[in-house]
Structure 1
Amino acid sequence: MTETFLTSLLVLTVMAASAALARRLVTAPAIVFLMVGIMLAFVPGFPPIEMQPESVLLMVLPPLIYSAGVSMSWREFKSNLRPIALLAIGCVIFTTCTVAAVTHWLLGLPWGVGFVLGAIVSPPDVVAPLAIAKRLHLPHRILVILEGEGLANDATALILYRFAVLAVSTGAFSLPSAAGSFIFILLGEIAFGIIVGWLSLRLRQWAHDARVEILLSLLTPYLAYWVPEHLGGSGVIATVAAGLYVSWNGPLLISAATRLQGIFFWDLAIWLIEGVLFLLMGFEVRVLMEKAKAVPVSQVLVAIALTSAIVIAARFIWVFPATYLTRILSARVRRRDPTPPWRYVAVIGFTGIRGAVSLAVALALPLTLPDGEPFPYRDLIQLTSFGVIFATLFGIGLTLPPVVNLLGISQHGHREALNEREAEITARRSIIEATRGALDTIIAERKLPEGLARFLEARHETRIRALPDPPREGDEHSPATKGASMVREIIGIERAHLHRLLREGKITDETRRRIERDLDLEEAVVNNREKNTPL
Structure 2
Amino acid sequence: MRKRGVCGSKDNVLSNVSHRLRIPQAPSTGDSMHDLPALMALLAGALAVTAVSRRTGISAPLALVVVGLAVSSIPGVPDYTIDPDLVLLVILPPLLYSAALNSSTIGIRANLRPIGLLAFGLVLFSTAVAGVLAWWLVPGMPLGVALVLGAVIAPPDAVAATSIGRRLGLPRKIMTVLSGESLVNDATALTAYRVAVAAVIGTGYSLLAGVGLFLLAAVGGAVIGYAIGWVVHRVRRLLRDDMLESAVGLIVPFFAYLVAEEVHASGVLAVVVAGLYLGHRAPSGSAATRLQDRAVWNAADTLLEAVVFALIGLQLRSVLESVSTDFGPLVVAGLVLTAGMVLARGAWVFLVMYLPEFLRRRNPDWRHKVIVSWAGMRGVVSLAAASAIPTATLAGEPFPHRNEVLFLTFFVTLATLLLHGTTLPWLIGLLGVRGTEDYTDALAEAEAQHNAARAAQERLDELTAEAEPPGDVAERLRRAAQQRSNRAWERLGRSADEVGESPTAAYRRLRGEMLAAERTVFVQFRDDRRIDDEVLRRVMHQLDLEELWLSRD
Pick from 213, 217, 224 the counterpart of residue 185 of structure 1: 217
* 1:49 and 2:80 are equivalent in the alignment: yes
* 1:386 and 2:410 are equivalent in the alignment: yes
| 3-state SS, counterpart of residue 449 of structure 1 | coil
CA deviation after TM superposition for structure 1 residue 326, in Å: 3.5
1:8 alignment counterpart: 39
State which drifts further: 204-213 or 452-461: 452-461
CA deviation after TM superposition for structure 1 residue 263, in Å: 0.9
* 1:117 and 2:141 are equivalent in the alignment: no
Change (3 A) 1:99 1:459: same
1:449 alignment counterpart: 470
State which drifts further: 124-133 or 451-460: 451-460
Pick from 419, 425, 450 the counterpart of residue 401 of structure 1: 425
Residue identity in the other structure for 1:265: V
CA deviation after TM superposition for structure 1 residue 468, in Å: 5.0
CA deviation after TM superposition for structure 1 residue 190, in Å: 1.2
Change (3 A) 1:394 1:473: farther
1:266 alignment counterpart: 297
Change (3 A) 1:379 1:224: same
2:341 alignment counterpart: 311
1:532 alignment counterpart: none
Please give the alpha-carbon distance, in whole angstroms, between the structure 2 residues aligned to 1:182 and 1:102.
24
1:61 alignment counterpart: 92
Please give the alpha-carbon distance, in whole angstroms, between the structure 1 residues aligned to 2:348 and 2:456.
50
CA deviation after TM superposition for structure 1 residue 484, in Å: 5.6
Please give the alpha-carbon distance, in whole angstroms, between the structure 2 residues aligned to 1:483 and 1:393.
44
State which drifts further: 162-171 or 259-268: 162-171
CA deviation after TM superposition for structure 1 residue 382, in Å: 0.6
Please give the alpha-carbon distance, in whole angstroms, between the structure 2 residues aligned to 1:486 and 1:369.
70
2:480 alignment counterpart: 459
Pick from 249, 270, 282 the counterpart of residue 250 of structure 1: 282
Change (3 A) 1:138 1:248: same
CA deviation after TM superposition for structure 1 residue 106, in Å: 3.6
Change (3 A) 1:507 1:457: farther
CA deviation after TM superposition for structure 1 residue 86, in Å: 0.3
1:82 alignment counterpart: 113
* 1:526 and 2:550 are equivalent in the alignment: yes
CA deviation after TM superposition for structure 1 residue 455, in Å: 3.9
* 1:278 and 2:299 are equivalent in the alignment: no
2:25 alignment counterpart: none
Residue identity in the other structure for 2:39: S
Please give the alpha-carbon distance, in whole angstroms, between the structure 1 residues aligned to 2:335 and 2:253.
36
2:130 alignment counterpart: 99
* 1:290 and 2:321 are equivalent in the alignment: yes
CA deviation after TM superposition for structure 1 residue 527, in Å: 2.8
CA deviation after TM superposition for structure 1 residue 523, in Å: 2.4
Pick from 27, 38, 49 the counterpart of residue 18 of structure 1: 49
Pick from 122, 127, 130 the counterpart of residue 162 of structure 2: 130
* 1:427 and 2:448 are equivalent in the alignment: yes
* 1:302 and 2:326 are equivalent in the alignment: no
CA deviation after TM superposition for structure 1 residue 474, in Å: 7.4
Conserved 8 A contact 1:353-1:393: yes
| RMSD of aligned Cα (Å) | 2.3
Pick from 155, 179, 196 the counterpart of residue 164 of structure 1: 196
Residue identity in the other structure for 1:425: A
* 1:200 and 2:232 are equivalent in the alignment: yes
Residue identity in the other structure for 1:298: G
CA deviation after TM superposition for structure 1 residue 189, in Å: 1.6
- Kindly report which structure 2 residues correspond to 1:221-260, keeping only aligned pairs within 5 A, or say none: 221-252=253-284, 254-260=285-291
Conserved 8 A contact 2:72-2:315: yes
* 1:322 and 2:322 are equivalent in the alignment: no
Once the two structures are superposed, residues 316-348 of structure 1 have per-residue CA deviations (whole angstroms, 9 ceiling, x without a partner) of 00001222343367x6xx7xxx44200001100
Change (3 A) 1:258 1:279: same
2:7 alignment counterpart: none
State which drifts further: 434-443 or 180-189: 180-189
Please give the alpha-carbon distance, in whole angstroms, between the structure 1 residues aligned to 2:415 and 2:405.
15
Pick from 510, 514, 532 the counterpart of residue 538 of structure 2: 514
Please give the alpha-carbon distance, in whole angstroms, between the structure 1 residues aligned to 2:407 and 2:511.
53
| 3-state SS, counterpart of residue 315 of structure 2 | helix
State which drifts further: 468-477 or 62-71: 468-477
1:436 alignment counterpart: 457
Conserved 8 A contact 1:295-1:379: no
Change (3 A) 1:6 1:346: same
CA deviation after TM superposition for structure 1 residue 120, in Å: 0.5
State which drifts further: 465-474 or 448-457: 465-474
Once the two structures are superposed, residues 463-498 of structure 1 have per-residue CA deviations (whole angstroms, 9 ceiling, x without a partner) of 345445133577758957787656544433443344
Change (3 A) 1:348 1:472: farther
CA deviation after TM superposition for structure 1 residue 139, in Å: 0.1
1:353 alignment counterpart: 377
* 1:343 and 2:367 are equivalent in the alignment: yes
CA deviation after TM superposition for structure 1 residue 272, in Å: 1.0
CA deviation after TM superposition for structure 1 residue 185, in Å: 2.2
Residue identity in the other structure for 2:214: F
1:533 alignment counterpart: none
Conserved 8 A contact 2:354-2:366: no
Change (3 A) 1:24 1:207: same
Please give the alpha-carbon distance, in whole angstroms, between the structure 1 residues aligned to 2:197 and 2:482.
66
Please give the alpha-carbon distance, in whole angstroms, between the structure 1 residues aligned to 2:327 and 2:201.
27
Please give the alpha-carbon distance, in whole angstroms, between the structure 2 residues aligned to 1:69 and 1:280.
24
Change (3 A) 1:159 1:491: same
| 3-state SS, counterpart of residue 157 of structure 2 | coil
Change (3 A) 1:475 1:257: closer
CA deviation after TM superposition for structure 1 residue 430, in Å: 2.1
Conserved 8 A contact 1:418-1:472: no
Pick from 236, 243, 246 the counterpart of residue 214 of structure 1: 246
Same amino acid, percent of matched pairs:
36
| 3-state SS, counterpart of residue 292 of structure 2 | helix
Change (3 A) 1:455 1:59: same
Change (3 A) 1:112 1:208: same
| 3-state SS, counterpart of residue 307 of structure 1 | helix
Conserved 8 A contact 2:354-2:369: no
Once the two structures are superposed, residues 371-409 of structure 1 have per-residue CA deviations (whole angstroms, 9 ceiling, x without a partner) of 111111111111111111111111101100110000000
> Which blocks of at least 5 consecutive residues in structure 2 are unaligned?
1-31
| 3-state SS, counterpart of residue 75 of structure 2 | coil
Please give the alpha-carbon distance, in whole angstroms, between the structure 1 residues aligned to 2:122 and 2:494.
37
CA deviation after TM superposition for structure 1 residue 462, in Å: 4.1
Give the TM-score of the pair, scaled to structure 1. 0.91
CA deviation after TM superposition for structure 1 residue 458, in Å: 4.0
